[in-house]
Structure 1
């Protein structure tokens, strides 16, 4: 019962966020996902009003427990067949862009802008995998502060939104050289931050581009699981003073739940209507967790971080765009 008040509060704000994201004025312009609207609402309310003590346990529960459940249910958006459908070309582009973007994001953030490990990993994971969802999943692994996570979400929102509008314009202008709709789909799915942004940037070109981009993007999302496991092991090894004991590594067990759900979904034994309902529930739970993150975020601490995360994410964005074009062309020419 101690959690009930806070859970109801975050749930109501999540429903409001989902409603607002579906309004034509938002859907047809910036096309913000409910997650982005949720954190904006949460930050606004959390910094204007002091949260009553009775709500705090439920808000913390929403941020931690509900988030883990939401990451597990994220597996219903994917199947192992998606990887096969992407083909070798898409899989190579996906893998190379994810790994290189993550490494570049960490290196640029630390080397040029002096950001700490936690902030650097959040920017890198959000840019290289799946935007806000990746930031949410990575934050507890690296034990980051909430204002750092909120700032990382802000960076992927800014540059993901720019990508959503920029990519179709550049493609229609013929500036992507000899790209066809399939190459454009691979490029978009492998480099744009959020799933919703990928859908918006690709289906505006054609159904072929949209389907290709969505599959490539979902395959990229699947790579979140191994990344979290690697980060868990790396941080345990880095902060250990007496050698690494495997029992001491903080394994993110929800990752195995995510993989298990992907496997279950790959069997095609659950009706598509049920899967669609589960995906809607998952979006709601992710939105609840985002509201909680916003409520717990101190905007003054975000100001203290300054513009450095934005600058770091901008360099990563340039790499995703320019590097993505080059990688797609090189891989296509080889295969």
Structure 2
């Protein structure tokens, strides 16, 4: 009588689990590296000096990332590259979706139709001006122009990072756009309180601190910069400035959808491998994270989650976005930014002048109507 020799067959889950383990092992060094920089950036942003000067965790994260990326990072790049790339791509998209928990549709009601109209007109006019000046007059590449336009017209570094997946920008293009936001947004923090004092006499923007707060929120780049400028003016201005800024941030999702659709139509036809014509419309990826952003903002508007939970999610989101910015900084070389020259800064300066003067004119026209 013979017996069959048996052997243990591998589990059907063994191969997938091993693949996941290998993937995690490859990602871990870069994620830890980006996470450490993000932790430092968030910690510094909560100190009195950085908070008083309106330097957000996102701005600090990319600055720290660039400092390390251009000095020490080359020694660990071989082991960290996979995780760093994951952070600046996948974690970025997740961070943009979770950003919706900082907004509610009720914010729109707080500034009224006038506030929403001011935000929309300033956003649209600023981006159109960026496109015309950047591509036609300054002859900048389209991607850099779009990134600077998005950062100036919507919400600074967060808008730049959210636009990146739509235009598929290079790291140095993103860093150039973010740097322009830092320069002129920082200048705005100190300039707007002085402008408010002048407006008390000139009354270019009718009303008082609340109305000037709407102007502030509709024209300053970063949320942190809006908070800093608004608080320097007064509590009433700070409240309306933040609400106006949040409504402006909510326009990020429709902006990305419109931009994606427009770029898809603008792509030149190309020839596919089989010789047939390709209309090119599939070359621009649909920003699915923008839909997620809208859904999350809608969920937050229903107030189904406890405030403590929403606050915890906001902290997690800040950390994820800071990791993405840190990863971006690590892969950005100063030499590439230097090669970009003065044109990006000039474009951002022109947009800043428009936000100051044009934004004041639009605010006066809408509020005075």
Compute the TM-score of the two structures, normalised by the length of structure 1.
0.96
Give the aligned partner of residue 246 of structure 2: 218
Give the aligned partner of residue 295 of structure 1: 330
Whether 2:290 is the aligned partner of 1:255: answer yes
Give the aligned partner of residue 262 of structure 2: 234
1:123–1:135 contact (8 Å) kept in structure 2? yes
Whether 2:214 is the aligned partner of 1:182: answer no
Partners of 1:191 and 1:256 in 2: CA distance: 25
1:298 Cα offset (Å): 1.5
Alignment root-mean-square deviation, CA: 1.5
Whether 2:358 is the aligned partner of 1:323: answer yes
1:107 Cα offset (Å): 1.1
1:207 Cα offset (Å): 2.0
Partners of 2:176 and 2:306 in 1: CA distance: 38
Give the aligned partner of residue 27 of structure 1: 51
What are structure 1's unaligned runs of at least 5 residues?
none
**Secondary structure of 1:48's partner?**
coil
Compute the TM-score of the two structures, normalised by the length of structure 2.
0.87
Q: How many matched pairs?
A: 333
Whether 2:38 is the aligned partner of 1:38: answer no
Encode CA deviations 1:112-153: one digit per residue, 9 max, x unaligned: 211010000000000000000000011121111110110000
Query: CA separation of 1:248/1:297 partners in 2, compared to 1, >3 Å: closer, same or farther?
Result: closer
**Secondary structure of 2:140's partner?**
coil
1:90–1:216 contact (8 Å) kept in structure 2? yes
1:243 Cα offset (Å): 6.7
1:244 Cα offset (Å): 4.8
Residue of 157, 169, 172 corresponding to 1:144: 169
What are structure 2's unaligned runs of at least 5 residues?
1-23, 270-276
Larger radius of gyration: 2
Partners of 1:245 and 1:3 in 2: CA distance: 33
1:240 Cα offset (Å): 3.9
**Secondary structure of 2:332's partner?**
coil
Partners of 1:244 and 1:220 in 2: CA distance: 34
Encode CA deviations 1:153-178: one digit per residue, 9 max, x unaligned: 00011111111110011112335524
1:170–1:176 contact (8 Å) kept in structure 2? no
Give the aligned partner of residue 5 of structure 1: 29
Partners of 2:153 and 2:95 in 1: CA distance: 20
1:27 Cα offset (Å): 2.2
